[in-house]
Amino acid sequence: MDIYNSDLHIHSPHSIGVSKSLNLDTMIDTCIKKGLNILGTGDILQPAWLKYLENNLEKNQDGAYYYKNIYFILQTEIEDKESVHEVILFEDFDMVRIIQKKLKAYSKNILDEWGGRPRINLSPAELADVVSDEGALIGPAHAFTPFKAIFRQNKFETLEECYADAAKKIKFIELGLSANTDLADRLESLKDVAFLSNSDAHSQDPRSLGREFNRFDVDNPSFNEILQAIQKKNGRKIILNVGLHPKLGKYYVMFCNKCRRRILFKKVKKQVNTFFNQYSITDNFIIYYSSDPISSRLDYLERVSKNKMNCPACKEQLNKNFKVKLGVSERIEKISTYKEPQHPDHRPPYVNAVPLIDIIRSVKDIKSSTSKTVLNDYNRIIQELGTEYEILIDMPINKIEKFDQTIGTVINALRNNEIKYTPGGGGTYGQINLNI
């Protein structure tokens, strides 16, 4: 058996908002720097992208597709009739073409230039049936995010509720930004499914592609081995999920659906009136002050989940009412069956990671994400020490510290969960707060 780092959900230039320079060559450049061995192709049902991949991917004797020295799993994301997003993995191009043909009847945009993530007019259960009857693998994407996700506010609370009889065909869910194993294992309905941590990348930028990944222990990098690992068969398995700390994700805490400010609670000694009327508004946050922030927050959360909480900032500044929405953490709190996570035996550990480029940026206190200095430092550390994943996850800290003391200290703190985070929400990533 061998170890493969795999990111099984990305997009192509045929999805909205994807970098035009994303192609096999630019993708594998990033894969090599990061230490990523298997990549989802993204958007495999889109005709031009499908053709491009058919022309360029080769197949080895194990049935694994590859381009140069990186392996690929044929993959797409679909939006179903309930506006739930699903990730689908295919064995080979024949299977892709058969499923594309079957889904064509239910979709207006599956063959479009911009149909990278097609909308299919089938219920989640019908879609799961069509896809898995052909042997492909399907599961809900970014399962807890507030938009287009199975467990979003006022939507489903269990797999069974969403997929009915087809629920047993769902073998994985994608944690997505803002959730991790500790959060997702508070739902009983997820105890038997595998968790995937994928990037959902819209570009080949090393801050995006492979930002989250799964470590598989399989015989070879083919679809069949991945399928067995996800189903925990024949000793094949996922041995590690790696991703952002949930607080760094874009949807961790409650936010206003209009101004996108995040909602936080702070403790004050004396509350002068009800906490609803005692708040401050900043560019990015609405902070409520309460003498008992824990119970105030619960009270607030209850109102938000009933769609009853208006944003005070929008009320003051626009004189309009816009609703506050639950973030991933509060939604999980709301629908969880357990107060504490109950990890089943098969669940691998989840490791927090932050893209190395962002660590370098924080350490150097550089704001720009396209800074040349940061990029040069990134390339240099990788050249000297090894791949990004080795540096973030596996390498002894003293080796990193010898190269750069501060970066070593930060990575050590990240690995040991000793970093403070400003939580993300409303579409804005959270931040690491360094005091080193």
Stretch that binds Zn ion, among 21-29, 57-65, 263-271, 304-312 (CB under 5 A): 304-312
**What minimum distance in Å lies between the beta carbon of 188 and Zn ion?**
25
Q: Which residue, 137 or 313, is less far from Zn ion as judged by CB?
A: 313
**What minimum distance in Å lies between the beta carbon of 285 and Zn ion?**
11
DSSP 166: G
**What minimum distance in Å lies between the beta carbon of 317 and Zn ion?**
8
Stretch that binds Zn ion, among 54-62, 235-243, 310-318, 362-370 (CB under 5 A): 310-318
Stretch that binds Zn ion, among 10-18, 32-40, 254-262, 330-338 (CB under 5 A): 254-262
**What minimum distance in Å lies between the beta carbon of 77 and Zn ion?**
5
In one letter, which amino acid is 23? N
Stretch that binds Zn ion, among 209-217, 245-253, 313-321, 331-339 (CB under 5 A): 313-321
Q: Which residue, 81 or 415, is less far from Zn ion as judged by CB?
A: 81
Among 179, 256, 410, 414, binds Zn ion (CB under 5 A): 256
Q: Which of residues 39-68 bind Zn ion (CB under 5 A)?
A: none
Among 102, 258, 334, 415, binds Zn ion (CB under 5 A): 258
**Encoding tokens for residue 186?**
């508070």
Q: Which residues pair with 351 in a beta bridge?
A: 242
3-class DSSP state for residue 387?
A: coil
**What minimum distance in Å lies between the beta carbon of 303 and Zn ion?**
15
How many other C-beta atoms are found inside a 10 Å radius of the C-beta of residue 288? 21
Residue 281 is a binding residue for Zn ion (CB under 5 A): no
Judge residue 319's burial from the number of C-beta atoms within 10 Å of its C-beta, 0-12 exposed, 13-18 middle, 19 or more buried: exposed
List own/partner pairs for 368-371 with CB under 8 A and 24 or more apart. Answer: 369/207
Q: b/e per residue, 101-119, with b = 16+ CB within 10 A?
A: eebeebbeebeeeebbbbe
Q: Which residue, 9 or 34, is less far from Zn ion as judged by CB?
A: 9
Q: What is the DSSP string of 39-64?
A: EE-S-TTSHHHHHHHHHH-EE-TTS-
Q: b/e per residue, 204-213, with b = 16+ CB within 10 A?
A: bbbbbbbbbb
**What minimum distance in Å lies between the beta carbon of 259 and Zn ion?**
3
Stretch that binds Zn ion, among 137-145, 367-375, 398-406, 415-423 (CB under 5 A): 137-145
Q: Which of residues 68-97 bind Zn ion (CB under 5 A)?
A: 85
Which of 66, 72, 75, 123 lies closest to 99 in space, CA to CA?
Answer: 75
Stretch that binds Zn ion, among 26-34, 47-55, 294-302, 312-320 (CB under 5 A): 312-320
Distance CA 97, CA 170 (A): 22
Residue 324 is a binding residue for Zn ion (CB under 5 A): no
Distance CA 231, CA 314 (A): 47
Among 48, 167, 259, 268, binds Zn ion (CB under 5 A): 259
Residue 313 is a binding residue for Zn ion (CB under 5 A): yes
Distance CA 215, CA 230 (A): 11
Contacts of 262 (CB under 8 A, 6+ apart): 253, 254, 255, 284, 285, 286, 327, 423, 424, 425, 426, 428
Among 201, 314, 360, 407, binds Zn ion (CB under 5 A): 314
**Encoding tokens for residue 319?**
């004189």
Distance CA 129, CA 337 (A): 27
Give the contact letters, 140-179, x = binds to Zn ion (CB under 5 A), - = no.
-x--------------------------------------
Q: Which residue, 97 or 258, is less far from Zn ion as judged by CB?
A: 258
Q: Which residues pair with 301 in a beta bridge?
A: none
Among 103, 177, 218, 311, binds Zn ion (CB under 5 A): 311
**What minimum distance in Å lies between the beta carbon of 315 and Zn ion?**
8
Q: By CB under 5 A, how many residues form the interface with Zn ion? A: 8
The residue ranges that bind Zn ion (CB under 5 A) are: 85, 141, 256, 258-259, 311, 313-314
